[in-house]
Amino acid sequence: MTTADPHALTGAYAVHALEDEEHAAFERHLADCAACAQEVAEFTATAGRLALAATVRPRPGMREQVLTRVTSVRQVPPGAASSERVRRGVRRGRRLTRWALAASVALAAAFGGTAVWQYERAQDARHQAAAAERHAEEIAGVLAAPDARTRSVRVAGGTGTVVVSARRDRAVFVTSGMAEPPRGKVYQLWFAVGQTMRPAGLMNPDRASQTVLMRGGVDGASGVGITVEPAGGSPRPTSTPIGLLEIPS
């Protein structure tokens, strides 16, 4: 995709459809164009709405219909066999069963620890996948909320946009083209509540553009701040905010 007008690339950027060179060039443009930053945030919210709209629930009663059909479908009967062939099969089956049992015991002794480890790893992977899915759904829910409101600010050579849904009491912070923090440092998000700053999450120091679900509810907060903190974050800001935004109403 190529175009001479970078303002026409906001939609493609929001859905990650730009080539690497165009992506980098557009992020440089985005750092100086508040209109495009606003449009990118709106397109991102629209993409979230479309993703949610693609979800289809099964019609009521489908489960009962399937279970009813299962009970009415006749299974294929087993093939007939002569009694002698059956007896030979039983004797051979008993011998094989003894050998199989012995082999199973040996394998269990040798690989039991490995099986348990693999099971635990699989369980961990499933839990992580479920958590990631819930996290993505929360972000999409905020971006797609009918009452979502946005506000943008230039920060660290790029653009930061906060998307707030009062109905969901959650906020998402979307960045574009931000410079990497100094080595050993991280960008930290905060909610301004009265005269205090409440920690609201850390940003990935290796990504110039990212979408962060801010930690905690929005209710009671008047603004959002971004500071540079030691790796791992801080319970309270240790530096002057490099960006401040009012909570959009």
**What is the maximum alpha-carbon separation in the chain?**
91
In a domain, 230, yes or no: yes
Of 129, 154, 164, which is closest to residue 226 (Cα–Cα)? 154
Does any domain span residue 153? yes
Domain that holds residue 197: 6-52+146-246
Q: Please choose, from the candidates 152, 154, 186, the residue with its C-alpha nearest in 3D space to the C-alpha of residue 28.
A: 154
Asked whether residue 88 is domain-assigned, the answer is no
Length of the chain: 249
Mean pLDDT by 10-residue block, N- to C-terminus, for the chain (249 residues)? 71 77 81 76 65 57 66 55 52 51 52 54 67 81 90 90 93 91 95 94 90 92 95 94 90
pLDDT number for residue 34? 72
Of residues 243, 48, 4, the one with CA closest to residue 137: 48
d(CA 28, CA 51) in angstroms, rounded, equals 28
* pTM beyond 0.85: no
Instruction: Specify the pLDDT at position 207.
Output: 87
Strands 158-165 and 210-213: unpaired
Question: What CA–CA distance (Å, rounded) separates 223 from 76?
Answer: 68
Residue from 30, 26, 53 nearest 161 by CA: 30
- How many domains, in total, are found in the chain? 1
